[in-house]
């Protein structure tokens, strides 16, 4: 088995696949890339059992075969080469020899048959959407998902496909983000929970991509196919909480404010907040917003006044500043609207502008009790 491939082309593809490999694998074979050669087509795969990703490369070859090559060693070597053709020759004594214009490098390989096979999806439903759109949906929601091992359903992003629209939801019980697109739809209704790791991989590859992504899914697995890449992952098992029930419908108090100004002010004031609660206080009256924070233990205190457009009763409400800062940082609008009903009910943050046609974002943040 022998093939010739460009060093930078191979490195670029392997760099992406390397994101799948865990640092501490239970099975030693998972520390490898699987190389499957079929004449001029080389398919490279990486897996952690939950997620398997493969990429098909064009190479010069006339042979067929499969081997498992140590991933870290190969990546570290490829990073050091300038652009040039590399020749891989697989010897019988479990050694693969790489020849470059500078020299020769030998590394041990394992039998490709030992590598776990990717799951074949039985009877999947499918929908197709643009790569950039999927990447946007992931980056707008994934930051709000939880990290609690006791509640695995909240540690992923909930995909809700219908014949009218696509909705993506993430929550950790303190904050919630719902991202909806009504300019794309699926052929039939479906719901599933995607884990974070494959979503982060997809977000990294698909940002700015105009390729179509085919999404196939059944009850236990999902598969994403685009360009020369295929990603199969196991879904999170369980029922997603009824998120619509926690979004308050009646919110008479409405604050509209410049997003950047609000964000910068919160960042400054929150430095003076209590290090465990990160509590900030918003006080609204007329066209004035007062943002304050206090750390009684250290006698630290900060207070800022901003002009805003506020309609509703004068009120005070407390929030964890980290959540609001994170939400504002994930929006790109010039102005945002914060809608509230009572100091003990969730606030709803939405962008006032800057959205694409058919795009809708709703962010919800739970308040914290103010100690008056």
Residues written for the chain: 372
- Cβ contacts of 291 within 8 Å, gap of 6 or more: 265, 266, 269, 280, 281, 282, 283, 303, 304, 305, 306
List Cβ neighbours of 302 (8 Å cut-off, separation of 6 or more): 268, 269, 271, 272, 273, 292, 293, 294
pLDDT tens for the chain, 372 residues long, are 999 999 999 999 999 999 999 999 989 999 999 999 999 999 999 999 999 999 999 999 999 999 999 999 999 999 999 999 999 999 989 999 999 999 999 999 999 999 999 999 998 999 999 999 999 999 999 999 999 989 999 999 999 999 999 999 999 999 999 999 999 998 889 999 999 999 999 999 998 899 999 999 999 999 999 999 999 999 999 999 999 999 999 999 999 999 999 999 999 999 999 999 999 999 999 999 999 999 999 999 999 999 999 999 999 999 999 999 999 999 999 999 999 999 999 999 999 998 888 899 999 999 999 876
CB 39 within 8 A of CB 64: yes
**Are 153 and 240 in contact, with CB atoms under 8 Å apart?**
yes
Spatial separation of the C-alpha atoms in residues 126 and 353, rounded to whole Å: 32
DSSP string, 324-340: HHHHHHT---SEEEEEE
Read off the DSSP letter of residue 149.
T
Cα–Cα dist 6/10, whole Å = 6
- Of the candidates 42, 56, 48, 44, which has an alpha carbon nearest to the alpha carbon of residue 19? 48
Task: List alpha helices for the chain, DSSP H.
Answer: 7-18, 71-79, 131-141, 196-206, 259-270, 321-329
* Residue 286 falls in which region: left (phi positive, over 0), alpha (psi -120 to 50) or beta: left
pLDDT the model gives residue 187: 87
- Cβ atoms 214, 195 nearer than 8 A: no
Fold of 126-244: DNA Polymerase III; Chain A, domain 2 (3.10.150)
Whether 248-365 and 2-114 are alike in CATH topology: the answer is: yes
Name the CATH superfamily for 248-365: DNA Polymerase III, subunit A, domain 2 (3.10.150.10)
> CB count, 10 Å around CB of 238?
12
Q: Residue 142 and residue 326: Cα distance in Å, rounded?
A: 11
- Are 116 and 49 in contact by the 8 Å Cβ rule? The answer is yes
pLDDT at 213: 96
- With a CB cutoff of 8 Å and minimum separation 6, the contacts of 185 are 127, 161, 162, 163, 164, 165, 166
Residue 227 structure tokens: 């360009």
Is residue 77 classed as helix, strand or coil in its secondary structure? helix
> Closest Cα partner for 269 from 311, 308, 320?
320
Q: Which CATH class is domain 2-114?
A: alpha beta
Whole-angstrom distance, CA of residue 333 vs CA of residue 337: 10
Give the start-to-end residue ranges of the domains of the chain: 2-114, 126-244, 248-365
pTM comes to 0.92
């Amino acid at each position: 088995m022998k093939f010739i491939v460009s060093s930078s082309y191979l490195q670029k593809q392997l760099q992406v696949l390397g994101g799948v490999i865990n640092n501490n694998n239970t099975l030693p074979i998972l520390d490898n890339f699987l190389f499957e050669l079929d004449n001029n087509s080389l398919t490279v795969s990486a897996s952690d059992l939950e997620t398997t990703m493969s990429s098909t490369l064009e190479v010069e070859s006339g042979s067929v075969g499969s081997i498992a090559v140590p991933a870290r060693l190969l990546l570290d070597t490829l990073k050091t080469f300038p652009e040039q053709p590399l020749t891989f020759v697989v010897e019988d004594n479990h050694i693969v020899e790489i020849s470059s214009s500078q020299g020769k490098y030998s590394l041990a390989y394992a039998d490709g048959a030992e590598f776990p096979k990717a799951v074949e999806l039985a009877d999947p439903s499918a929908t197709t959407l643009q790569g950039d759109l999927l990447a946007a949906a992931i980056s707008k929601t994934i930051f709000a998902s939880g990290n609690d091992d006791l509640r695995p359903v909240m540690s992923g992003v909930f995909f809700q496909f219908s014949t009218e629209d696509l909705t993506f939801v993430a929550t950790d019980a303190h904050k919630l983000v719902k991202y909806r697109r009504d300019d794309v739809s699926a052929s039939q209704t479906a719901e599933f929970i995607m884990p974070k790791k494959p979503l982060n991989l997809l977000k990294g590859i698909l940002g700015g991509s105009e390729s179509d992504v085919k999404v196939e899914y059944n009850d236990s697995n999902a598969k994403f196919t685009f360009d020369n890449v295929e990603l199969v992952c196991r879904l999170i098992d369980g029922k997603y909480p009824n998120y619509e029930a926690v979004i308050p419908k009646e919110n008479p108090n409405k604050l509209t404010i410049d997003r950047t100004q609000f964000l910068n002010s919160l960042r400054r004031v929150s430095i003076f907040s209590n290090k465990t609660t990160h509590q900030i206080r918003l006080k609204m009256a007329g066209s004035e917003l007062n943002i304050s924070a206090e750390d009684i233990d250290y006698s630290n205190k900060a207070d800022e006044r901003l002009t805003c457009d506020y309609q509703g009763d004068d009120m005070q409400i407390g929030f964890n500043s980290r959540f609001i800062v994170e939400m504002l940082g994930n929006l790109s609008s010039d102005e945002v609207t914060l809608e509230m009903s009572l100091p003990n009910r969730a606030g709803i943050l939405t962008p006032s502008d800057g959205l694409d046609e058919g795009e809708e974002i709703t962010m919800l943040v739970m308040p914290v009790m103010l100690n008056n």
